[in-house]
Structure 1
């Protein structure tokens, strides 16, 4: 299994960093998880739009799904449109982004498969388990597996005993770490710190930790140092162009 990071910025993109976007590849099948703001240009650095075989969305915030619209437009409006793209998302999560164009314009470009966080299903060669994790809107933590490797991705989440359960023994935990040491009080139930993420990684016994969804302007080294207070394994930052071979 191979991971290519398209972006990992929380809330909005910066000049140097797209929002959440990750391509997982196994046996030639390419799964795009969370096509957030500004991820399509980063995808085009590596692949054409018709080389994506499926999309999986953790939740409906636009920094995790907004670039589904230009991705579908690029496929639908090409001279030789590829087959309809399977798109997996929690119920209702994509209503807003799929309504951006006139009714029917993109209808042939995708096939929507809605699920409830907690469901399990296969996406190509990937076995997929989902967990309902706390956020402002329903959010699916994702455990993605192949015979080679297992990855856990939190989407956006607040503190939860289910995070180390989701990530138990995985080869990589890709975890939101919006803040370094402390989340503002009003957001504390819905977002994580890098320090708590490190604690969860240690509890789960993961092999590697990758921090993502850092608030714009956050010093990545400060986030890594905070996570390392509890987790002794390798820690990296989700940055555009990072490629990780897993397994």
Structure 2
């Protein structure tokens, strides 16, 4: 498997950056995970819109799904529209972004599938296992397996025992780390820190940890240092253009 980071900013895209977005490839099949703000231009630098084979969305906040709209426009309004794009998301998560255009404009450009935790599904060569994780809105942690390799992704999440199950033995854990050390009180049930991500990665025995969704303006060094206190494995911050072969 190959994962390419399209963006890793939380909340909004900082100058020259993009929000959450990851392209995962295996055996020529391309899955776009969380097309957040400003991710489509990054994607189109290497991959035509019609070459995306499926989209997975962890939750309905726009920094994780807003660029689904221009992706579907690029497919629907092109000279040779491709087949409908399978889009998998928690029920209702994409109602707002799919309502941005007039009724019928994107008809036939996508097939929407409700993502149900506890029900594995096959998406091309991948097996997808979804986990319900705590956030301000319904959020699905994603575990993608193919070719004997596993990538786990938390979306945005607060503390949960299911995080270790999601990430258990993964070759790569892509973990939300909005704050370096501690999540402010009112958000503590719904978001994670880099220190939290490090503890999860260590407990789950993951081979590599990629911190993402850092608050705009956050330097990577404090986040890396906070995670490294618990996790001793390969550790990095998600930056646009980073590729990892799993």
TM range (shorter): over 0.9
Q: Which residue is 1:84 aligned to?
A: 84
2:115 and 2:130 in contact (8 A); partners too? no
Q: Which residue is 2:224 aligned to?
A: 224
2:153 and 2:175 in contact (8 A); partners too? yes
Distance 1:148 1:133 in 2: 25
After the TM superposition, which parts of structure 1 deviate over 6 Å for at least 4 consecutive aligned residues? Answer: none
1:7 and 1:239 in contact (8 A); partners too? yes
Q: Map residues 59-74 of structure 1 onto 2, 5 A cutoff.
A: 59-74=59-74
Q: Which residue is 2:143 aligned to?
A: 143
What secondary structure is seen at the aligned counterpart in 2 of 1:108? coil
Q: Map residues 85-234 of structure 1 onto 2, 5 A cutoff.
A: 85-234=85-234
Name the TM-score, length of structure 2 as normaliser: 0.98
2:75 and 2:109 in contact (8 A); partners too? yes
1:117 and 1:139 in contact (8 A); partners too? no
Q: Structure 1: 5+ residue runs without aligned partners? A: none
Name the TM-score, length of structure 1 as normaliser: 0.98
1:75 and 1:82 in contact (8 A); partners too? yes
Q: Map residues 42-61 of structure 1 onto 2, 5 A cutoff.
A: 42-61=42-61
Deviations 1:33-56 (A, max 9, x none): 000000000001111101101101
Distance 1:12 1:176 in 2: 14
1:147, distance to aligned residue in structure 2 (A): 2.0
Distance 2:38 2:159 in 1: 28
1:108, distance to aligned residue in structure 2 (A): 1.1
1:211 and 1:236 in contact (8 A); partners too? yes
Q: How many residues align?
A: 246
